[in-house]
Amino acid sequence: MVRPRFTGSFTQQPSIPDEAIAAAVAVMRSGRLHRYNIATGEESETMALEREYASWQGSRYCIAVASGGQAMQIALRAAGVLPQDAVLTNGFTLAPVPGAIAAVGCSPILIEITEDMVIDLDDLAVKARQTGARHLLLSHMRGHQCDMDRLVRLAADLKLAVIEDCAHTMGATWNGRRSGAFGLAGCFSTQTYKHLNSGEGGLLTSDDAEFIARATILSGSYMLYERHGAGPGKETFADIRLDTPNMSARMDNLRAALLRPQLRMIDESIRAWNERHDYLARRLAACSSIQMPHRPDAEAYVGSSIQFLVPGISSGAAREIVDRLAEVGVELKWFGAEQPVGFTSDHHSWRYAGAQSLPITDAILSGLFDMRLPLTFSLEDCALLADHILDTVAVLASKCDA
């Protein structure tokens, strides 16, 4: 059967809400784009965003920063990570995660993953003990959460400080508890392809007053830490303000103005993402050649992308799946490629991390496919995507390595 070509754009996000555009125009007309440039008695857009995000997330504190990557770097420094320390993280994640570890002068120690695309907690325990590492930068890669209850118990036993990379889990929960609330800090991204869109941007949350005070100074407060919407009292900064360097990684009022109305709409967006994700997941799961990751009952996810495995597929057949789907307008990513492509890379291309043996992760990535699901796609679009993927996999999945 000849199916119509898919014509949707995998990079087209919904337009910015009119309310956000009006707020951004008001900021531009005021000329007060810098977060600390406010008139007496006024609250800046960035202050308001921090207060509103902390309330929505259920955290005591929040600071708004320039990017999700900066949120992770600042969190590591504020957590007491020192140059040359070993920092544990997932072997399967995106490059900014090990990049944040390298950026603070530390060595990423990569942990194996499971077929459900989450960190292998047994391998985590082994490598934590072997290396003596005291910090875990836990990546909820592509929105998949490990057993967070077990992770918390294990971190306590290993004396690990946990920083969560929640770039793909803003709004997700585990047993009703928000992603980002299980460790010392949660790091969130507002880059264009994330759940809130300001082009670039980040949010850092915590319930620890001294940690967030250090993070606030690191972000570049210029001693204006009282001009924050969700920060600790000024007494917390008494020594921290003099001992902590300024890294100048602030969010500005223009981006905050774009984000606040989107935050008020995020629960509706999550429902829409999951409707699209779950439809596709049901269709793909019906194919005997495709293996979908298991989603535990405890996990409430945000399906802004979808992943599936074709176990045993050869590298040649995997490339052919990607190429054939591209010919009909479907942009599928494959994590088993030898070279990084766009946003897709694996640990072999992170030379700054040093060569590390991850045979289980490598075997999983060799058959792992990934696809964005922007909210500009309709359910009819998702039906056509499923048809094209199933047609192509049915033809090529039998091509396995000898």
Does 33 fall in a domain?
yes
What's the rounded Cα separation, in Å, for the pair 113 and 194? 23
Does 7 fall in a domain?
no
Does 5 fall in a domain?
no
Does 210 fall in a domain?
yes
Same domain, 72 and 159: yes
Same domain, 272 and 214: no
Same domain, 204 and 271: no
pLDDT digit string (tens) for 5-36? 999 999 999 999 999 999 999 999 999 999 99
Same domain, 343 and 375: yes
Same domain, 296 and 207: no
Does 10 fall in a domain?
no
Same domain, 253 and 290: no
pLDDT at residue 400, rounded to an integer: 52
**What's the CATH code of the domain at 191?**
3.40.640.10
Boundary (domain end) residue, out of 234, 264, 294:
264
Boundary (domain end) residue, out of 199, 229, 264:
264
Same domain, 74 and 217: yes
Does 8 fall in a domain?
no
316: containing domain: 266-396
Same domain, 260 and 301: no
C-alpha pair distances (Å), 87 with each of 105, 168, 182 = 10, 21, 18
Residues β-bridged to residue 178? 173
Same domain, 260 and 273: no
Q: What is the number of domains present in the chain?
A: 2
Boundary (domain end) residue, out of 225, 243, 264:
264
Q: Which residues of the chain have a pLDDT value below 70?
A: 397-402
**What's the CATH code of the domain at 386?**
3.90.1150.10
pLDDT digit string (tens) for 347-396? 999 999 999 999 999 999 999 999 999 999 999 999 999 999 999 998 87
pLDDT at residue 344, rounded to an integer: 82
What's the rounded Cα separation, in Å, for the pair 340 and 358? 17
pLDDT digit string (tens) for 56-90? 999 999 999 999 999 999 999 999 999 999 999 99
Same domain, 171 and 272: no
Tally the C-alpha atoms within 13 A of residue 284's C-alpha that lie toward its C-beta: 26
What DSSP character marks residue 14? Answer: P
Residue 66 contacts residue 34 (beta carbons within 8 Å): no
**Alpha carbon 295 to its chain's center:** 18
pLDDT at residue 342, rounded to an integer: 79
| Distance in Å from the first CA to the final CA of the chain | 31
What's the rounded Cα separation, in Å, for the pair 113 and 120? 5
Does 4 fall in a domain?
no
Same domain, 185 and 65: yes
Same domain, 142 and 183: yes
